[in-house]
Amino acid sequence: MNKTTLSILAVSMFALLAVGTVAAFGFGKGGLNADLSEEELAQMQEQKQAMQTAVENQDYATWQNLMLERVEQMRAQITPENFNNIVEQNENQQAFHEAVQELKDSGDFSREDMESLREQYNLEAPEFKEGRKAMGMKPEGDCSFAR
């Protein structure tokens, strides 16, 4: 492989890793994109779909341009404030999980306790409907076992 190909591959790998990292910590409610408007969120979804289409069509030039746009968007999010928000969210999640484990170990665990802990650690309940959709599962109520 020549140096250009290796450079492009390295940049692409870095971009994919960065996208995955930001997605894991930032995208969605309460993350780095919590203050985005509906229009900006729709634009992100369109970009995601365009990337998927480029991959399906084996259109490297379009995929490359979309990835470079995404890298620039992510660079704008690399700030001390966003990092501090991620650190705080991580600390809250760790403390929350420890508190949940203590409740489980005590044998006195209820849904109300869970909600109380979520409020205490400023965490939102997971949105299972979106998660189910992302995993390719049917939305609630459409399950053949639930009938």
Q: Taking the chain (147 residues) in consecutive chunks of 10 residues, what is each chunk's mean pLDDT?
A: 64 56 46 71 90 95 93 91 94 91 84 85 67 48 44
Same domain, 96 and 131: yes
| pLDDT of res. 2 | 67
Q: Which residue among 38, 61, 78 closes a domain?
A: 78
Same domain, 71 and 31: yes
Residue among 9, 3, 138 at smallest CA distance from 67? 9
Same domain, 56 and 105: no
| pLDDT of res. 16 | 55
Query: In which domain, by residue range, is 117 found?
Result: 80-147
Same domain, 6 and 63: yes
Domains in the chain, number = 2
| pLDDT of res. 124 | 77
| pLDDT of res. 104 | 86
Same domain, 69 and 85: no
Q: What is the DSSP letter of 107?
A: T
| pLDDT of res. 84 | 95
SS3 content of the chain, % helix, strand, coil (to 5): 75, 0, 25
pTM assigned to the model = 0.49
Same domain, 68 and 86: no
Distance, in Å, from the CA atom of 50 to the CA atom of 58, rounded to the nearest integer, reads 12
